[in-house]
Structure 1
Amino acid sequence: MVIDLNADLGEGFGIWRLGDDLALLDIVTSANVACGFHAGDPVTIRRTCAAAVDRGVAIGAQVSYRDLAHFGRREMDVEPEELCAEVLYQLAAVDGIARAMGGRVSYVKPHGALYNRICRDEAQATAVIEAVADYDPSLPVLTLPGSVVHKVAAAEGVPTVSEAFADRAYTPQGTLVPRREPGAVIHDPDAVPARARQMAVEGSVTAADGSSVPISARSICVHGDTPDAVRLAQGVRDELLAAGVVLQAFT
Structure 2
Amino acid sequence: MDFNCDLGEGCGDDAAILPYVSSANIACGGHAGDEATMRATLRLCREHGVAAGAHPGYDDPEHFGRRVLPLDRDEISMLVLRQLARLAALADDEGLRLSHMKPHGALYNLAADDRIVAEAIVGAVAAFDPKLAVYGLSGSELTAAAEAAGLRAVHEVFAERGYGGNGRLLPRGTPGAVLETLDEAIAQVHGLAKRGEVVAAGGQRLQLRADSLCLHGDRADAPAFARAVRAALEADGIRILAIDAA
The equivalent of 2:204 in structure 1 is: 211
2:138 aligned to which of 135, 145, 150:
145
- Mapped to 2, the partners of 1:56 and 1:39 lie a distance apart of 23
Q: Which amino acid aligns with 2:183?
A: D
Paired residue for 2:185, among 181, 192, 198? 192
Contact 2:135/2:143 (<8 A) preserved: no
Deviations 1:93-114 (A, max 9, x none): 1111112112111000000000
Write out per-residue CA displacement over residues 116-152 of structure 1, whole angstroms, 9 at most, x where no aligned residue. Answer: 0011111111111110011011211101122112332
For 1:24 and 1:98, locate their aligned partners in 2 and report how far apart those are by CA, in whole Å: 20
Cα pair 1:60 1:108 within 8 Å, conserved:
yes
Superposition map of 1:1-251 within 5 A:
3-12=1-10, 18-251=11-244
1:8 shift after superposition? 0.6
Unaligned regions of 5+ residues in structure 2, if any?
none
**d(CA) in 2 for partners of 1:194 and 1:79?**
40
- The offset of 1:154, in angstroms, is 2.7
Give the letter aligned to residue 100 of structure 2. Y
Q: Residue 182 of structure 1: CA displacement? A: 2.2
SS in 1 for 2:99: strand
Q: Deviations over 1:71-99 (max 9, x none)?
A: 00001220111110110010011111112
Please give the TM-score of this superposition, normalised by the length of structure 2. Answer: 0.97
> Percent same amino acid among aligned pairs?
45
User: Would the aligned equivalents of 2:139 and 2:208 in 1 still touch at CA under 8 Å?
Assistant: no
- Distance in 1 separating the partners of 2:236 and 2:242: 18
Aligned-partner residue type, residue 7 of structure 1: C
What's the offset of the Cα at 1:203?
1.0
Q: Secondary structure at the match of 1:92?
A: helix
Q: Which deviates more from structure 2 when the two are superposed, residues 196-205 or residues 154-163?
A: 154-163
**Aligned-partner Cα distance in 2 for 1:99–1:196:** 34
Aligned length: 244
Q: CA RMSD in A?
A: 1.0
Q: Give the whole-Å Cα distance in 2 for the aligned partners of 1:29 and 1:152.
A: 25
* Cα distance between partner residues in 2 of 1:77 and 1:165: 27
Select the structure that is richer in helix. Answer: 2
Distance 1:4 1:53 in 2: 17
1:15 equivalent in structure 2: none
TM value normalised by structure 1: 0.95
Distance in 1 (CA, whole Å) between partners of 2:124 and 2:174 is: 32
State the alpha-carbon separation in 2 of the partners of residues 32 and 231 from structure 1.
19
